[in-house]
Amino acid sequence: MKPMFGRGPSLQLRLLLAVVASVSLIFLDSKLDLFSPYRVFLNSLVSPLQYMANAPSQLFDTVAGKVISREQLQAKNQELEQQVFLIRSDLLQMENLKEENNRLRQLLGSPVRQDARKMVAEIMEVDSDPFTHQVVIDKGSLNGVFEGQPVVNDQGVVGQVLRVGSTTSRVLLITDNSHGIPVRFQRNDIRALANGTGDLERLDIPFIPHSTDIKEGDMLVTSGLGGRFPEGYPIAVIDRFEYDEGMPYARVDAKPVVSLDRIRYLLLLWPSESPDPVVTPEPAVSPEPDNAPAKSEATNG
Amino acid sequence: MDRANSRGMIYLSIIVAMMLAILPLPAQLDAFRPDWLTLVILYWVLALPHRVNVGTAWVAGLILDILLGSTLGVRALGLAVITYVCAMNYQLIRNFSVWQQAVVIGVLTVSCKLLIFWAEHLVSDIILVPQYFWSIISTMLIWPWVFLILRRTRRHFGVS
């Protein structure tokens, strides 16, 4: 019988090395955030595995798309054409209103709102850490994605980009425990914060006094105050407003308007602070100015 | 089969385990996803403790950390510790019947999950949900099959 652990250091020493290495990694990663510059590289390194894990469902989608019948396609096409027709007619008015709004804002001396550049991203259905709410999308730094980028879909705000790889990136959902977003009540412009709770169906609105005029069913929209999310996107609907005289603040819960457990396509937004918004994603190419720890920033913005 | 190839089989099985760990599952089943990487690593530790032990487990855990987007090093820590326990007692565990082994694997998985939770809890305020521990049952139930498949693979390719 050959000696079991003859070569190299003994098992105890190996364990000691492994424990020391992991503890220092945990500390360096979470407290000092030393690895965020290398995360792009690390994420790109493992993205082949993610694409491979995603392949079966991709294949299933392709097959399902191939076997759809002609009648179904025709019916769907008709339905979609009608939808486009309706949306187009709304858009006619929208253009007009936008123009009018911009003129009024100019009269008031407020900055004119610009259109944001958008890009569609698909969620790669890969599983994530059970303690955090994250999804992986199929766009990365090669597409100009940057850390802290706002992510929405057709219903409302989904979250923000947490980490970027070259072809994939990770989106932190608004319901994650570490996420907070500045909000405004659409009905009466009260400003507040909406913090994630770790529950996909619930956001927590802290520090609301008892006397505040809040009703169940009030819509929360982004206030644009953090400078990270553009203003006016719907986030959540108040579904609980309770107060206990003994407590300093009321207890306010909101339900996200996006059903976050069944999202598929997302929109990445490039906020247009530059005067020329439509041409290139300038802020996206240089990630340096926004390189500070994403986790702690998420709470402010 | 030469050395490099037989070593390749070990790495291949670990990579497959990682893919299974991130494979999309319906939300109802997701809580019952077995800890594939733990299963595969522990099998190789029991079979070839001089080949696969703390170092391999640590690197595999680290890669899984990157894949799952969690704090770097938490799974590496958990896997390294249980691998150490397993490698210290491999002769004892080898002599158990496969269902007794499943219980041992279950205990090791619980310790691994607790270590991961504690490490994560120290650095960020996360909440423990009971679903987190459901996967232990499926991990224990699936051990005999993983054991049989990997043993057959090992014998077929003459991995040593």
Task: Kindly give, in sequence order, each residue whose CB lies less than 8 Å from that of residue A177, ignoring residues fewer than 6 positions away.
Answer: A131, A132, A133, A196, A197, A198, B124, B125, B126, B127
Residues of B in contact with A132 (CB under 8 A): 69-70, 126
* A267 three-state secondary structure: strand
Integer Cα distance of A254 and A195 in angstroms: 10
- According to the model, what pLDDT value does residue A22 have? 92
Integer Cα distance of A68 and A256 in angstroms: 33
H or E element at residue A239: strand A234-242
Nearest CA among A1, A24, A4, A10 for reference residue B54:
A10
- According to the model, what pLDDT value does residue A40 have? 78
Residues of B in contact with A27 (CB under 8 A): 123
In eight-state DSSP terms, residue A115 is: P
Question: pLDDT band at A132, cuts 50/70/90?
Answer: confident
Nearest CA among A298, A268, A297, A262 for reference residue A151:
A268
Pairwise CB contact (< 8 Å): B69 & A45: no
- According to the model, what pLDDT value does residue A275 have? 41
Q: Is residue A73 part of a domain?
A: no
Q: What is the ipTM of this complex?
A: 0.84
In B119-158, the residues whose Cβ lies within 8 Å of chain A are 119-120, 122-127, 129, 131-132
Q: How many residues are given for chain A?
A: 301
Please tell me which of the candidates B24, B117, B129 has its beta carbon nearest to residue A125: B24
Please tell me which of the candidates A11, A45, A127 has its beta carbon nearest to residue B88: A11
Nearest CA among B37, B33, B32 for reference residue B17:
B37
Residues of B in contact with A28 (CB under 8 A): 72
Q: Is residue A229 part of a domain?
A: yes
- According to the model, what pLDDT value does residue A6 have? 54
Integer Cα distance of A257 and A31 in angstroms: 33
Q: In percent, how much of chain A has pLDDT > 90?
A: 30
Residue of A nearest to B128 (CA): A131
Compute the nearest-CA separation of B42 from chain A (Å): 15
Residues of A in contact with B80 (CB under 8 A): 15, 18-19, 22
Integer Cα distance of A254 and A231 in angstroms: 19
Please tell me which of the candidates B54, B73, B81 has its beta carbon nearest to residue A29: B73
CATH number at residue A246: 2.40.10.340
A193 has pLDDT over 70: yes
Question: pLDDT band at A301, cuts 50/70/90?
Answer: very low
For the stretch B132-139, contacts whose Cβ atoms lie closer than 8 Å and that sit 24 or more positions apart, written own/partner, are B132/A130, B132/B31, B134/B31, B134/B32, B135/B31, B135/B32, B135/B33, B135/B34, B135/B35, B135/B109, B136/B106, B136/B109, B136/B110, B137/B32, B138/B32, B138/B33, B138/B34, B139/B34, B139/B35, B139/B38, B139/B39, B139/B105, B139/B106, B139/B109
Task: Kindly give, in sequence order, each residue whose CB lies less than 8 Å from that of residue A54, ignoring residues fewer than 6 positions away.
Answer: A124, A125, A126, B24
Q: Is residue A77 part of a domain?
A: no
pLDDT tens readout for residues B4-14 = 677 888 999 99
As a whole number, mean pLDDT of residues A71-89 equals: 92
- According to the model, what pLDDT value does residue B109 have? 95
- According to the model, what pLDDT value does residue B68 have? 86
Q: Among A125-134, A146-155, B28-37, B96-105, which stretch is predicted with the lowest mean pLDDT?
A: A125-134
Pairwise CB contact (< 8 Å): B77 & A126: no
- Indicate the average pLDDT of chain A: 82
As a whole number, mean pLDDT of residues A100-107 equals: 86
Question: pLDDT band at A277, cuts 50/70/90?
Answer: very low
- According to the model, what pLDDT value does residue A273 have? 57
In sequence order, what are the beta bridge partners of A157?
A152
In B41-80, the residues whose Cβ lies within 8 Å of chain A are 49-50, 53-55, 57-58, 61-63, 66-74, 76-77, 80
Question: Using H for helix, E for strand and C for coil, what is the string for B81-108?
Answer: HHHHHHHHCHHHHHCCCHHHHHHHHHHH
- Cα-flanking dihedrals φ and ψ of residue A87, to 5°? -65, -40
Nearest CA among A48, A234, A43 for reference residue A134:
A43
Tokens 């080949």, residue located = B51
Pairwise CB contact (< 8 Å): B69 & A42: no
Q: Is residue A27 part of a domain?
A: no
Count of C-beta atoms within a 10 Å radius of residue B108 = 24
- According to the model, what pLDDT value does residue A33 have? 78
**Structural domain boundaries in chain B:** 3-157
- Cα-flanking dihedrals φ and ψ of residue A124, to 5°? -85, 125
A285 has pLDDT over 60: no
- Number of inter-chain CB pairs under 8 A, A vs B: 136
* A78 three-state secondary structure: helix
Count of C-beta atoms within a 10 Å radius of residue B90 = 19
Q: How many domains does chain A have?
A: 1
A53 has pLDDT over 90: no
Q: Among A60-74, A114-128, A254-268, B40-54, which stretch is predicted with the lowest mean pLDDT?
A: A114-128
Residues of A in contact with B88 (CB under 8 A): 11
- According to the model, what pLDDT value does residue A182 have? 94
Q: Which domain holds residue A168?
A: 116-301
- According to the model, what pLDDT value does residue B3 have? 64
Residue of B nearest to A177 (CA): B126
Tokens 């953090």, residue located = A226
- Residues of chain B with confidence (pLDDT) below 70: 1-4
Answer whether 0.80 is exceeded by the pTM: no
pLDDT tens readout for residues A213-267 = 888 999 999 988 888 888 889 999 999 888 888 888 889 999 999 988 888 899 9
Cα(first)–Cα(last) distance of chain B, in Å?
10
More confident residue, A153 or A2: A153
Integer Cα distance of B63 and B44 in angstroms: 18
Pairwise CB contact (< 8 Å): B77 & A19: yes
Q: Is residue A16 part of a domain?
A: no
- According to the model, what pLDDT value does residue A195 have? 93
- According to the model, what pLDDT value does residue B47 have? 92
Q: Which two tokens stand for residue A236?
A: 């959540």
Q: Among A3-7, A88-92, A199-203, which stretch is predicted with the lowest mean pLDDT?
A: A3-7
Integer Cα distance of A127 and B134 in angstroms: 16
